[in-house]
Amino acid sequence: MKLILLKTNLVDALGSVERAVNESSSLPILKHALVKTVGGKILLVGTNLELAIEYSLPGKVIEGGEIAVPFSLFNSLIKNLMAERVAIEEKDRKITITTDNYEAVLQGQDAAEFPIIPSIQKQTPPLLFPTELFRGALQNVIVAAQYSDIRPEISGVYFKCSGRMITLAATDGFRLAEEKINLPPTASSQDTAAIIPLKTASEALKMFKGSEEITVCIEPNQILLSSPNEKIISRLIDGSFPEYHAVIPHHPPHEVTVNRAEFINAVRLASPFSGRANDVIVRLGENKKVLEVYSVDSALGESLYKIPVKGKGERFSIIFNWKYLLDGLKVFSGNEVTLGVTSSDRAVLLQNPKEPNLLYVVMPIKG
Amino acid sequence: MENNELWENVLGDIELQISRPNFLTWLKHSKLLDKNEREGIVMVGLPNNFAKEWVKSRYHKLILGSLRNIDGSIKNVDYTVVNQNPLRPPHTAAKNAQEEASFLESQSPLLEPEVNPKTNLNPRYTFDSFVVGSSNEIAHAAAEAVAKDIGKKYNPLFVYGGVGLGKTHLIQAVGNRVAARHKHAVNVLYASSEKFINDVVWAVRNRRMEDVKKKYRDIDVLIVDDIQFIGGKTATEQEFFYTFNTLYEHNKQIIISSDRPPNSIPTLEERLRSRFEGGMIVDVGYPDYETRLAILKTKARERGFFIDDKVLEEVAARVQKNIRELEGVLNKVVFYEQCKNEKIDEKKLNEIISEAVQVTPKNITANDVVRAVADFFEVAPNDITNRSRKQEVVQPRQIAMYLLRDMLKLSYPHIGDRLGKRDHTTAIHACEKITKECSRDPGLNQKILLIKERLYKM
């Protein structure tokens, strides 16, 4: 095998594949990445057996072939090179990296030892839609997800496509985030649902930076997300995502709208005074004109922040875990956020009238 | 050889031939799922697609060879993916657990956990979701009365009935109602009798009887499911007796369920039996057609499915004996309609129902049947198989004949011959009589179901 590559392209590829390579694996071959040529294309592949990332990078193929390279050594060598172009040649499992004034030889492993990446049958037509919509929604809902030993079915992001609407949702049992994406008429869709493991979802967020469209294929136990030059294949979580629609409050009786940035600031200021349960109190005062964010610690002192409100509502006082509240406030992007309150022991709905497809539900702390 | 044992042998063999990391990565979590004896194909389950692809391409020959060494009839191996656990970020898990523990107490959950860890009650079992029909209305009324007025009205409340008829639902509904009404003021505890036995065994072994005493005697409503299992376990029975007395004396409510009335639990100690009989004994019987239909409709609605009334009527008419079976059939129907997007036609429905209803008994012999019947009625097996005409063996013998015909499909002459060298017409008469009485007398139906139940467990 003989290749000539631009260093920057190779660094991008290594950065992407790095996420799938597990340096602490007990199986030595998993500390390697596979470099191979398919036609005139160069592929870099890494896997930890739970997910695999495949990156296709531009370069000149003088002679085809495939070889498994020790990932972390290769990665650090390439990163530190000053040259613009890098030549990589493989002969008898010896990999030679050459630039104008540098040469390194690494011991590679037989490519046949490298795990076979499961193929996607593409029996169902893939979903195709704009990357930014997908990444944006994924970023918004993923804050509510958390790995759970006891409840594997919520340790991921729920992905559902029905008609021309994609729903992403995540919950850790205490809060819930959901965003719906209306597919543009150009996108293709297929009714399907899956639970994407948290790790896969968070890796996918960091990928696909330059691409405009993303393809999603879902099979009974695996998922493929791909752009023209990047692919991530992962297994899915077995199980059924909870029927969460019942916990979303519909038309809560008290709705108050406040400035989002101020609310965030208020929660941040109150947080140092919160106790072990991260508890801060959010209450609508007597005159119903200001929302108070209050917390008190007998040793440290107390903090009170007042934010003017718009909207209808009776007096209420709710205790929140400020981390959950803050996460929720941050998923929105508009200037305002609406707090929908039923009572002090019922779920609270956060919404922004200007972002109707996004919602965040958080459960209060018992008083 | 058992599948598990076979696979363990194969793994032991392969472990010697490949490197340890390879074995741990690819084969450690494999399972032998199924062995098709007829075609000689073995199905192996692997934890993920990577393992599936790799094992298929690298270790197939090794596995097949090793399998064939042990069992020559095996011709091929197939692979599939099972047991998809979530990806686990190891470093964060510990921290999360700690974090979770610190606020779990106060943070209300958004999605209620399935079982309440304190009371052990499943929140799904409520009075609202309990369908009342003629077969269970007395039990239901008694349960509601108890929930309203704990410890006073009917104490203990003893609910008995066949498998899958709603005993657990009913007694947990009482617990849930009480817990909801009195919140933290009243301690409710639901325990299966197995749990109780385990606690006592643990306490005896660790000399911590005081802990168990405290746990069970600090309770306002104690609900014990399937009490028949404590019969014959002397230490447990004794402990239960003391617990019972303590609670009873303090006017605490006790609710007990069993698969038969207290006087037919043969191994139960006399003093416990008389305690149970001192309260209210109610039975849950087989639901009639209307109740079954109502149950199906409720279940379908609960889950938000819309199913043709005709289909539900057919299911209710055909599945008669057990509500759990009813639910199973409903689930299958829903599965076909929702997942496969197939409209259920008559043929498909027939298939589903007969699949669910006919559990083919494995390896049950005529002797097993006779023994189970004799056991159940507490008569000697010989009495059933000889020509005795004692009154107490007449019905057991007829039931045995019925079961031999119904479950094993033996011929009438054979059945007659086996049970006391009788004529085949006697066997025919017995089967017809039992069939007829079954539809009339729910008690008999229940006895037969219990015997079958025992046979399946053997």
Whether B54 sits inside 8 A of A52 (CB atoms) is no
Cα torsion for A40, A45, A50, A51, to the nearest 10°?
Answer: -60
Q: What is the dihedral sign for C-alpha B424, B427, B428, B429?
A: positive
Digits of tens for pLDDT over chain B (458 positions)?
678 888 888 888 888 888 888 888 888 888 888 888 888 888 888 888 888 888 888 899 999 998 888 888 888 898 888 755 544 444 444 444 444 444 445 667 776 656 777 788 888 788 888 888 888 889 999 999 888 888 888 888 999 988 778 888 899 999 888 888 876 678 888 988 888 888 888 888 888 888 888 888 888 899 999 888 887 788 888 888 888 888 888 888 999 999 888 888 877 788 888 888 888 899 888 888 888 888 888 887 776 677 778 888 888 887 777 788 888 888 888 777 766 666 777 777 777 777 776 655 567 788 888 888 888 888 888 888 888 888 888 888 989 998 888 888 888 888 888 888 888 898 899 888 888 887 777 778 778 888 887 787 66
Residues of chain B contacting A277 with CB distance shorter than 8 Å: 102-103, 105-107
Q: What does pLDDT average to over chain A?
A: 89
Per-domain residue ranges for chain B? Answer: 3-81, 137-284, 289-357, 366-457
User: Of all helices (H) and strands (E), which one includes residue B214?
Assistant: helix B209-217
Answer whether B87 sits within 8 Å of A26, measured CB to CB: no
Higher-confidence position of A98 and B91 = A98
DSSP state letter for B268: S
Q: How many angstroms separate the CA atoms of B325 and A117, rounded?
A: 42
- Is the pTM higher than 0.95? The answer reads no
Contacts 24+ apart (CB under 8 A), B233-240: B233/B197, B235/B200, B235/B201, B235/B204, B236/B196, B236/B197, B236/B200, B236/B201, B237/B268, B237/B269, B237/B272, B239/B200, B239/B209, B239/B212, B239/B213, B240/B196, B240/B272
Q: Which fold has domain A248-362?
A: DNA Polymerase III; Chain A, domain 2 (3.10.150)
- Alpha-carbon distance of A43 to A61, in angstroms, equals 11
Q: Kind and range of the H or E element at B31?
A: strand B31-36
CB-nearest to A50 from B87, B105, B110 is: B87
Are B167 and B227 spatial neighbours (Cβ–Cβ below 8 Å)?
Answer: no
A364 part of contact set with chain B, CB < 8 Å: yes
Binned at pLDDT 50, 70 and 90, residue A319 comes out as very high
- CB distance B87–A51 less than 8 Å? yes
Q: What is the pLDDT of residue B364?
A: 79
Tokens of B236: 């447990």
Interface check for A238 against chain B (CB to CB < 8 A): the answer is yes
Does A28 sit within 8 Å of B89, measured CB to CB? no
CA distance B254 to B157: 6
Q: How close B77 comes to chain A (CA, Å)? A: 19
- Cβ <8 Å between A198 and B86: yes
Yes or no, beta carbons of B110 and A362 under 8 Å apart:
yes
- pLDDT surpasses 50 at A27: yes
pLDDT at A281 exceeding the cut of 90: yes
Which pLDDT belongs to residue A180? 93
Report residue B132 as tokens: 């009342």
The CATH H-level superfamily of B366-457 is DnaA protein, C-terminal DNA-binding domain (1.10.1750.10)
CA B60 vs CA A15, A113, B51: distances in Å: 35, 15, 12
For A127-244, CATH number?
A: 3.10.150.10
DSSP result, B38-68: TTTEEEEEESSHHHHHHIIIIIHHHHHHHHH
Structure tokens at A156: 């991921």
Task: Tell me whether strands A2-6 and A85-91 are parallel, antiparallel or unpaired.
Answer: antiparallel
What is the structure's pLDDT at B99? 46
Query: Which residues pair with residue A3 across a beta bridge?
Result: A61, A88
Tokens 């399972």 -> residue: B31
Q: CB-CB: which of B49, B57, B111 is closest to A222?
A: B49
Chain B residue closest to A26 (CA)? B21
- Sequence-separated (6 or more) residues with CB below 8 Å from residue A128: A187, A188, A213, A214, A215, A216
> What CATH architecture does domain A2-113 belong to?
Roll (3.10)
Is A75 in CB contact (< 8 Å) with chain B?
no
Q: Any idea how long chain A is?
A: 367
Q: What is the 3-state secondary structure (H, E, C) of B352-404?
A: HHHHHHCCCCCCCCHHHHHHHHHHHHCCCHHHHHCCCCCHHHHHHHHHHHHHH
Q: Does domain B3-81 have CATH number 3.30.300.180?
A: yes
CB under 8 Å to A175, separation ≥6 — which residues?
Answer: A144, A324, A327, A328, A360, A361, A362, A363, B110
Select B289-357's CATH number: 3.40.1210.10, 1.10.3720.10, 1.10.8.60, 2.30.42.10: 1.10.8.60
- The reply to whether residue B48 touches residue A173, judged by beta carbons under 8 angstroms, is no
Place of tokens 């802990």: B211
Residue A131 touches partner B, C-beta closer than 8 Å: no
Which tops the pLDDT comparison, A210 or B108? A210
Contacts of B108 in chain A (CB under 8 A): 174, 345, 363-366
Contact B107 A363 (CB under 8 A): yes
- For A112-116, what is the mean pLDDT? 90
State the span(s) of chain A assigned CATH 3.10.150.10.
2-113, 127-244, 248-362
What is the ipTM score, two decimals? 0.71
Partner B, chain A 152-211, Cβ-Cβ below 8 Å: 152, 154-156, 171, 173-176, 197-200
- Three-state secondary structure string covering chain A: CEEEEEHHHHHHHHHHHHCCCCCCCCCHHHHEEEEEEECCEEEEEEECCCEEEEEEECCEEEECCEEEEEHHHHHHHHHHCCCCEEEEEEECCEEEEEECCEEEEEECECHHHCCCCCCCCCCCCCEEEEHHHHHHHHHHHHCCCCCCCCCHHHCEEEEEEECCEEEEEEECCCEEEEEEEECCCCCECCCEEEEEEHHHHHHHHHCCCCCCEEEEEEECCEEEEECCCEEEEEECCCCCCCCHHHHCCCCCCEEEEEEHHHHHHHHHHHHHHCCCCCEEEEEECCCCCEEEEEEEECCCEEEEEEEECEEECCCEEEEEEHHHHHHHHHHCCCCEEEEEECCCCCCEEEECCCCCCEEEEECCECC
Residues of B in contact with A192 (CB under 8 A): none
Is a pLDDT exceeding 90 seen at residue A73? Answer: yes
Could you give the strand order of the β-sheet that contains A2-6, starting from the edge strand earlier in sequence? A60-63, A2-6, A85-91, A94-99, A102-107
Q: Which residues of A touch B57 (CB under 8 A)?
A: 116
Q: What is the pLDDT of residues A213-262, one digit of tens each?
A: 898 888 888 899 999 889 999 988 888 888 888 889 888 888 899 999 99
Residues of B in contact with A27 (CB under 8 A): 21-22, 24-25
Confidence band (pLDDT; 50, 70, 90) for A44?
Answer: very high
Cβ neighbours of A154 in B, within 8 Å: 111
Tokens of A178: 């959901």
pLDDT for the residue numbered A201:
93
Nearest CA in chain B to A321: B107
Does the beta-carbon distance from B49 to A156 stay under 8 Å? no
Instruction: Note the pLDDT of residue B320.
Output: 73
Instruction: Say whether A173 and B84 touch across the interface (CB within 8 A).
Output: no
Residue in A26, A116, A238 closest to B53 by CB? A116
User: Which residues on B lie below 8 Å from A364 (Cβ)?
Assistant: 108
In 3D, which of B362, B360, B292 has the Cα closest to residue B330? Answer: B292
Closest CA in chain B for residue A244: B111
Nearest to A340 by CA among A311, A307, A367: A311
3-state secondary structure of B410: coil
Structure tokens at B415: 């059945």
Structure tokens at A334: 């508009």
The residues in A 331-350 lying below 8 A from B, measured between CB atoms, are 345, 347
| Chain A residues in contact with B81 (beta carbon < 8 A) | 221, 235
pLDDT in tens, A152-175: 788 899 999 888 889 999 998 889
Cβ neighbors of A188 (< 8 A, separation 6 or more) are: A125, A126, A127, A128, A129
Q: Is B387 exposed, middle or buried (0-12, 13-18, 19+ CB in 10 A)?
A: exposed
Q: How far apart (Å, rounded) are the C-alpha atoms in residues B425 and B436? A: 16
- What is the number of residues in chain B? 458
| Distance from C-alpha of A297 to C-alpha of B300, rounded to nearest angstrom | 51
Residues 6+ apart with CB under 8 A from B458: B364, B368, B372
Instruction: Return the residue in B99, B106, B302 with the most chain A beta carbons within 10 A, the one to mutate for interface testing.
Output: B106
Q: Yes or no: is domain B137-284 CATH 3.20.20.140? A: no
Instruction: Please indicate if any CB of chain B lies within 8 Å of the CB of A115.
Output: yes
Size of interface A-B (CB pairs under 8 A): 118
**Chain-centroid distance, C-alpha B187:** 27
Least CB-CB distance to A147: which of B81, B86, B105? B86
How large a percentage of chain A has pLDDT more than 90? Answer: 56
**Model pLDDT, residue A49:** 87
Burial class (CB in 10 A: 0-12, 13-18, 19+), A249: middle
Gap between the Cα atoms of B178 and B194, Å rounded: 23
Residue A267's pLDDT band (cuts 50, 70, 90): very high
- Given a contact cutoff of 8 angstroms between Cβ atoms, the answer to whether A294 and A285 are in contact is no
Residues of B with CB under 8 A from a CB of A: 21-22, 24-25, 48-54, 57, 81, 83-89, 92-93, 96-97, 102-103, 105-111, 113
